[in-house]
Amino acid sequence: MRTRLALLLAAAGLLLAFTLATQLVIQDRQQELRHDLLRRYDPAIVATTDLRAAVVDQDTSVRAYGLTGDPGFLDVYTAGRETTITTLARLDELLAGDEQVEPDLALVGAAVDDWHAAAVAPVLDAGSDAERAAVRTDAFEQEGLRLLETVRSAVGDVEGHLVATRAALADDLESTARRARWAMFMQAGGVVVAGVVVAAALARVVLGPLDRLGRDARRVADGDLDHEVRGTGSPDLARLGTDVDAMRVRILGELAHLNAATADLERQAAELARSNADLEQFAYVASHDLQEPLRKVSGFCQLLQKRYGGQLDERADEYIRYAVDGAKRMQDLINDLLAFSRLGRTTAAFAPVDLQAVVDDVVRVLDDAIAGAGAEVTVGDLPVVQGDRRLLGAAFQNLIGNALKFRSEDAPIVGVSASLDGSTDDGEWIVTVSDNGIGIDPDYGDQIFVIFKRLHGRTEYPGTGIGLALVKKIVEYHGGRVWLDPTPDTGSTFKLALPPSPTAGDATHAG
């Protein structure tokens, strides 16, 4: 396509260059003709007129001097003589190179010299009236008139040639002007023709094939992926059409893979839905069918412990105590599993939640445990977020409860605070729960949120190992994040990132 366009533009350029060169040549010819007319032949014609007048003035002056002897008449002769010499020199300069007029101009000079030598010089050389009267004979007068007529005739021949030449130059200039106009019209026509040819060629070679290629591409884009895309025109556009069609074929292949993957996803989604239904059924069975016999086992074990405690041997009392403790732990585990499995069903019940009030309620619930551990719980200004009040309360109860459970020898100090993180587009609240307890090795920062993952034995610290997993699921259910901050030297610091409430903005409440 580039080659074709280059050839097309080159042809248009040659056409324009030819018309421009033609116009320039004609303009040069016009300039030359104007110069000859205005700078050579027009001044030369005026000079011949001056020359004829100067010769006549000389003849009249010399005749008057010959008759009267008055030297005053010679002033006109002197001026005429100078004009004649100057005019002949001017004519030689103006008409240099004109081979037709140069011989006639030479004859004019010779005729003037002959007339001056034979008819003027004898009168001027006579010193007295007698001598002038002797010179002025009839034969002398007749010869002078003949020589003067010869000068006039020679000047007339030169003037006639000049007039004829000037007329020819004028005609040539007019013809050249017409040719210049035609050349200008040709140049304008060449521009128009070149534009039309370039536009037509572009429409045929580029725009038409591109339009067809665009229609095919839009048809494919509208969903007709089976429509073949074909490139026409120059080889470049043909290759472009082939590339576009190859892309269409590739899209068809990817679409087939995508459809297969979508079918797999739909199948997996159906299996997941069935699995969730089975999980819900399991939760129902666990909450009803398992809880009831477990309560009976726990109740009868407690009755045995109450009625026969101390009546049997020490080993029997230990067995009864193990049975009661196992039943209680099994009941706690089932309750925690039920809470974990039921979490995250829907967010339709989300509403603005005042975390300040939530944490205050949690502190009141844990009041006995706080007093028993001699703990100090400080709560800073907490925000309003969008969520489920009950679930958020469970998350904070687990975190504060863990701080009381995993305490060191010192009295527990638990702090709850919040700050707004402005590094994100919408902003999010970072809630910090810190304590001065036994702490957690940062290497286990991710493992502690795994369900049933325990870093300590059940004999050291009670619990089912579901608490932090439940906190993580609650926070993620609210569109947030939770992590262990590895920076503190002592104790543990958990950070919860929660999105703000869309109705509460950045509002916080004093604790």
Element (H, E) at 303: helix 291-308
Rounded to whole angstroms, how far apart are CA atoms 147 and 324? Answer: 169
The CA–CA distances, whole Å, from 452 to 201, 276, 332 equal: 78, 21, 13
pLDDT at 127 over 80: no
Closest Cα to residue 377, out of 397, 361, 400?
Answer: 400
pLDDT at 347 over 60: no
Q: Which residues of 37-73 are buried (b: 16+ CB within 10 A; e: fewer)?
A: beebbeebbebbebbbebbebbbebbbbbbeeeeeeb
Q: How many CB atoms lie within 10 A of CB 289?
A: 10
- CB contact set of 117 (below 8 Å; sequence gap of 6+): none
Does the pLDDT value for residue 39 go beyond 80?
A: yes
Decide: 201 and 8 in contact? Cβ < 8 Å: yes
Residues 444, 467: Cα–Cα separation, whole Å: 15
* Residues contacting residue 229 through CB under 8 Å, at least 6 positions apart: 213, 216, 217, 220, 241, 244, 245, 248
Domain boundaries, the chain: 2-200, 243-342, 348-509
19-23, 250-254, 332-336, 497-501: least confidently modelled range: 332-336
List CB contacts of 396: < 8 A, sequence separation 6 or more: 355, 358, 359, 362, 416, 433
Alpha-carbon span 125 to 135, nearest angstrom:
10
Count Cβ atoms below 10 Å from residue 357 Cβ, excluding itself: 14
378 phi and psi, to 5 degrees? -115, 135
Residues 6+ apart with CB under 8 A from 350: 386, 387, 388, 478
Contact 320, 304 (CB under 8 A): yes
Over residues 457-472, the mean pLDDT reads: 61
pLDDT digits (tens, 9 = 90+) for 407-451: 777 888 899 998 887 666 567 888 999 888 876 766 655 667 665
2-200: CATH number: 1.20.1420
Nearest to 286 by CA among 362, 246, 342: 342
Fold entry, domain 243-342: Helix Hairpins (1.10.287)
- One-letter amino acid of 379: V
**CA distance readout (Å), 449 to 106, 435, 468, 470, 472:** 127, 18, 5, 8, 6
Residue 511 scores a pLDDT above 50: no
Q: Does the pLDDT of residue 28 top 90, yes or no?
A: no
**pTM to 2 decimals?**
0.41
The number of C-alpha atoms within 13 Å of 73 and in the hemisphere containing its C-beta is 16
- First and final C-alpha spacing in the chain: 77
- pLDDT tens string 235-266: 777 777 788 878 878 888 888 888 888 888 88
Give the β-pairing of 413-421 and 376-379.
Answer: parallel
For the stretch 66-88, pLDDT in tens is 888 888 888 998 998 999 999 98
| Mean of pLDDT over the chain | 78
CATH of region 348-509: 3.30.565.10
Task: Select the highest-mean-pLDDT range: 36-45, 448-457, 495-504.
Answer: 36-45
- The predicted pLDDT at position 53 comes to 92
Per-residue tokens: 306: 């109450």
Instruction: Kindly state the percentage of the chain with pLDDT values over 70.
Output: 80
Region 351-374: mean pLDDT is 89
Backbone angles phi, psi at 367, to 5 degrees: -60, -40
Do 380 and 418 touch, CB atoms closer than 8 A? yes
Q: What is the mean pLDDT of residues 336-342?
A: 55
The string over 373-395, giving b where at least 16 C-beta atoms fall within 10 Å of a residue's C-beta and e elsewhere, is: bebebebbebbbbbbbbebbbbb
Residue type, 330: M
pLDDT at 286 over 90: no
pLDDT confidence bin for 346, thresholds 50/70/90? very low
Average pLDDT over residues 220-233: 76
Each residue of 135-155: pLDDT tens digit? 777 778 888 889 889 988 988
Residue located via tokens 């080889």: 235
Closest to 220 (Cα-Cα) out of 199, 246, 191, 202:
246
pLDDT at residue 360 in the model: 92
Nearest to 382 by CA among 368, 367, 363, 369: 363
Q: What angle do CA 319, 324, 329 make, to 5 degrees?
A: 125
Pick from 386-400, 453-467, 494-508 the range whose average pLDDT is largest.
386-400
Which residue, chain included where needed, has tokens 């033609």?
22
C-alpha to C-alpha distance for 486 and 476, rounded to whole angstroms: 20
The residue written with tokens 């339709």 in the block is 348
